[in-house]
Structure 1
Amino acid sequence: MAKKVKARPDAQHGNRLESIRDAHNAQKMGRTTRMEDYLEVIYELINQKGYATTVDISSYLNVSSPSVTKMLQRLNESGHVNYEKYRGISLTESGTAVAKNIHDRHGVLAEFLRIIGVDEDTANRDAEGIEHHLHPETLKKLEEFIRLVKSQGLGGLNAG
C-alpha cells in the first residue's frame, strides 16, 4: 500500500491559488471578459466607421445577432452603452473609458511582444488573449520596460 504523503502548502502554490481566486472574484464583481470584448469592438468600429451596428459586432465577434442584442441590453443596463433597438449604439463616458483602457492595454502588450521578436499578427492575437487579465501594476511595468528599451535603441530583439 502506498504511503499517503501529506500535501504541504508552499508559498508559490498558495500564491497561485490566491491569484486564481482573485481573478475569479474580480470577474464576478464587474465586467466580464466578454463584455470588454464587446466594448472594445464597439469602440474600434466607431473610430473606424463613425458608428457600430449589431451586424458589424456580430461579424467581428462571430456571434449571432440575438446574442449581440442580449449583450447590448446588458451593457445598456450597466451604463456602458446607449442602445435602442433599431436606433443605434453609442458608448457612454464609462463605456468609452473601459474600451479605451482595453485598447491601450492591447497596444502596450502588442508592442512588448513585437519588441521581443513576435510577428505583428501573432502579437495582436496574443495581446487580445492577455489584455483582459493584466494587472494595472504589470501594465505600468511593461510601459516602463518599453520606454527603457526604446530609449536604449533596442526596439527589435529579433535574433533572426
Structure 2
Amino acid sequence: MRTSSEEKYLEEIYKAVNQRGYARVSDVAQSLDVSVSSVSKMVRKLAGYQLVEHERYQYIKMTEKGILVGKQLVLKHQILATFFQMIGLEKEEVEEEVNKIEHYISWSTIGKIHDFILRNE
C-alpha cells in the first residue's frame, strides 16, 4: 500500500466482504463517513493496484492480492489492539487508539510489537 488513506479504504472493503460477502460503495462511504464519490475515486485507484475489481453500480470485489493485503491490515489492527490491552487501556480506548495510528505505523514497528506480545504472553 502506498498511503494511510488507501489502507483505510481497503481494510474497510475487506471487512465488508468478510462480513456480508460483498462490499458496496455506499456502505464503505457510510462506514468511513466520506462521500460516495470519494469511495468511487479510491476504488478506481485500488483497482489500478489490482487490489479490487469494480464496475459502476456493482459490488466491489477483492482480488487475491487485495485479500492478502486486507488480511495483513486486519492482523496489524489485531496486534495493536492486543498491545494496547496489555498495557492497560480500557476496551473503549483500545479501538479509538488503534484507529488513530494503525495506518501510520510501519510494518517494522508492528513486527517489534508482535515480538513483544509473544515474549510477554
Return the TM-score normalized by structure 2: 0.92
Q: Does 1:93 align with 2:64?
A: yes
Q: Does 1:74 align with 2:45?
A: yes
Q: Distance in 1 between matches of 2:119 and 2:46?
A: 38
Distance of aligned partners of 1:133 and 1:43 in 2 relative to their CA distance in 1, 3 Å threshold: same
Alignment partner, residue 38 of structure 1? 9
Give 1:72 shift: 0.9
Q: Which runs of 5+ in 1 are unaligned?
A: 1-29, 151-160
Counterpart residue identity of residue 89, structure 2? V
**Greater relative contact order (Cα 8 A, min sep 6): structure 1 or 2?**
2
Give 1:48 shift: 0.9
Q: Does 1:83 align with 2:54?
A: yes
Percent identity between the aligned chains? 36
Residues 11-50 of structure 1 aligned to structure 2 (within 5 Å)? 31-50=2-21
User: Which of the residues 74, 79, 103 maps onto 2:74?
Assistant: 103
Q: Does 1:144 align with 2:115?
A: yes
Q: Distance in 1 between matches of 2:2 and 2:108?
A: 19
RMSD, aligned α-carbons: 1.3
Return the TM-score normalized by structure 1: 0.71
Alignment partner, residue 52 of structure 1? 23
Q: Distance in 1 between matches of 2:92 and 2:119?
A: 24
Alpha carbons 2:24, 2:58 under 8 Å: kept: no
Distance of aligned partners of 1:136 and 1:32 in 2 relative to their CA distance in 1, 3 Å threshold: closer
